[in-house]
Structures are given as structure tokens and as C-alpha cells.
Structure 1
Amino acid sequence: MATLTWLLLTYKVPPEPASKRIALWRKLKGMGAVYLQNGVCLLPKTDDHVRRLKMLENDIAEMSGEAVLLETIALDRAQEDKVTARFNADRDEAYREFIDKCDDFEKEIAKETAAEHFTYAELEENDVDLKKLQGWLEKIRKLDFYGGALAEEATQRLKGCEALLDTYAQRVFDAHDENR
């Protein structure tokens, strides 16, 4: 098995303005970084991550902060497993939240169907919600570096939502005599 290589970023930034510190944290979490402790995070080594972390290193300097960016590997397999487990835990949390939103989507369609509320406005609203779900899952997948346990379930749930909306759309079209 190939040794996994990570980028380790350590940084220290002034506490104020808090908005800059929070924006930095959001950027790192948005890249999929896991924090080992405050101001110390890891990302898998990719050309994209190197480039983006170098830019963040510059941002940190502009904030009058300090940053060190290193390439690192785990000391042994057990340490490597700990790190990948942290990445997977973060992704699984995101997948769980996504699956909860799929539940909400399914309940909304069921509510509208039970009420026989087959309108184009409702269809459009639900279509927008589905597109949000599709985009959200794609973002989670991009950050799923090591194959989170809930990835397949999330994919299947999205397919279910897509099929549900197709069925609802057919009911809307039927209600408006679109297919006759």
C-alpha cells in the first residue's frame, strides 16, 4: 500500500478582527481540512491543495500572522489510520446531514402529493431544492478523500429524491393536461 502524504499547515493569527480568523477557518474546512488542534490542520497532498495553501499562507501573513506549511507522512500504519478516520468522520457527518435533508425533501413531496397540490410553482420550488441537494452532494464527494462509509447511502438517497420528483412532475403535468 502506498504511503499517504499530507500537507500540514500550522498557523497563528491575531484574535482580531475575528471575521478574518473565521474566514480563514471556513476556507480550510471548505477544502476538507481536518484540525489536529487549534491552528494545526492536515489535507491530503495534491497540487491543488499545495497551491491553495500557499495562497492561504500569504493571506495569513497579510493578517500579521505566522504560518508554516510542511509535507508529512504518518509514523506508522496506526497513525495513518487515525488520520484517515478523522477525514472520514468529517465526511460522514456531512453525509448524515445531507441524508437528513433528503428526508425533508421526501416529506415535502409526500405532503404536497397528499394535499393534491400539483402546481407548476410547487414543482419549480421542489426542482430548485433538488438541484441544491445535487450540488451539495457533489461538494461532499469532492472532499471525500478516503471513501466515507455513508457515501453510497447518500448517493442512493439522492437517486430516490430524483425519482420522487420525476413522479411528482408527472402528476403536475397530468393535473394540467400536459400529456393529452
Structure 2
Amino acid sequence: MSEPVTWLLLAYRIPSEPSRLRAGVWRRLKALGAIYVQNAVAALPADPAAERALRSLRAEIIRMDGGSAQLLRADALAGGTDLVTAYNAARDDEYAEITDRCRDFLAEIERETAASHFTYGELEENDEDLAKLRGWFDKVVARDRLGAPGRDAAGKAIEGCAEALDGFAAAVYAADVDAP
């Protein structure tokens, strides 16, 4: 059995208007990888970086007119595996989305190859797309503190994209050599 996870819980209250305040907090928590335990109660596995980020967010919330927030460190007495499962499911959803985007990337490479559209402009565009996929993957990996099972499949999908891009690049270079 794995070691129990210590959690950081941010419980907050924000006025309903303007709604941009709620949306801003939600976006920040999502970017951190937090899961919602209940409405306005978000959880992250405890580590120094998560604590710094949540302390900073708490400070922003309490500066809002009518905002309040508490940051707690907690060990689950019961239901701890449910929290871990929910946290890993959130990461797996992100990994699945990356894998889907990798399929789109590969389909684009196939379309360009079938059309013999071997240009440096297309290569550059695809290279930028792969860099974005890698950056997104790295961000998800950074918040995947509990080892979600979808990481390996997404990593392999990124590798497949890199291999396909290498093949496309070789075709671009060959077309350049063959050009009059």
C-alpha cells in the first residue's frame, strides 16, 4: 500500500459578482492541478511549491472585497483513496486530451505528406505545434504529483509525434535538394 497523501485545502468565499473574480480563482486552481472536494474547497497534494501558490492565491482572495479564505493542511481520516483517485483522474483527463491532440498532429503530418506539401513553412508550423504539445505535457507532468497512469501513453504519443515530424523534415530536406 502506498503512503498516505497529505493535502492542502483551500476553502474560500468570493462574492458572486463580478463573476470574473470566481472565474479567475477557478483558472488559477485548475492551472495548479487542484481538484474540488466541494464547492469552493480545492485540494492539492502538499508540497512546498503548492503551498506557496495556494498562500499567494489566498492572499489575493482576502484582498477582494468580501472575499475570505482559509488554507489548511489535512490528512484524510477516511476517503483518502477517493481524493487520490479524483486527482489522478483529473491528470488522466489532461493526458487523454494531449493524446487526442497528438492524433490530430499526426493526421496533419499525414495530410501534408499525402499532398507532397514539403515546405519549410509547413515544417516550421509543425515544429511549433510539437513544441506546444511538449510544453503542455511538461506542465501536466509537473502537476502530476501522484503518478497518474495516463502519463506513459501521453509521453509515447508525444514521442510518436516527434518521430513523425523527423520523417516529415527528412522529406522537406529531400524536396529542397531535388528542387531546381
**TM-score interval, normalised by the smaller of the two chains:** over 0.9
Corresponding residue SS for 1:177: helix
How many angstroms apart in 2 are the aligned matches of 1:59 and 1:88?
27
RMSD after superposition: 1.1
Of the structure 1 ranges 16-25 and 164-173, higher mean CA displacement relative to structure 2 is found in 16-25
Q: CA deviation at 1:62?
A: 1.1
Specify the alignment match of 2:98 in structure 1: 98
Specify the alignment match of 1:35 in structure 2: 36
1:142 paired with 2:178, answer no
How many angstroms apart in 1 are the aligned matches of 2:166 and 2:68?
52
Specify the alignment match of 2:175 in structure 1: 175
How many angstroms apart in 2 are the aligned matches of 1:74 and 1:102?
37
Q: TM-score, structure 1 length as denominator?
A: 0.94
Q: CA deviation at 1:143?
A: 1.3
Identity of aligned residues (%): 43
Specify the alignment match of 1:130 in structure 2: 130
How many angstroms apart in 2 are the aligned matches of 1:50 and 1:176?
52
How many angstroms apart in 1 are the aligned matches of 2:28 and 2:40?
13
Specify the alignment match of 2:23 in structure 1: 22
Corresponding residue SS for 2:139: helix
Specify the alignment match of 1:56 in structure 2: 57
Segments of structure 2 that go 5 or more residues without pairing to the other structure are none
Answer whether contact 1:10 1:40 (CA < 8 A) is retained: yes
Q: TM-score, structure 2 length as denominator?
A: 0.94
Corresponding residue SS for 2:138: helix
How many angstroms apart in 2 are the aligned matches of 1:4 and 1:103?
34
How many angstroms apart in 1 are the aligned matches of 2:157 and 2:82?
29
Q: CA deviation at 1:168?
A: 0.3
Q: CA deviation at 1:2?
A: 3.1
Count residues in correspondence.
176
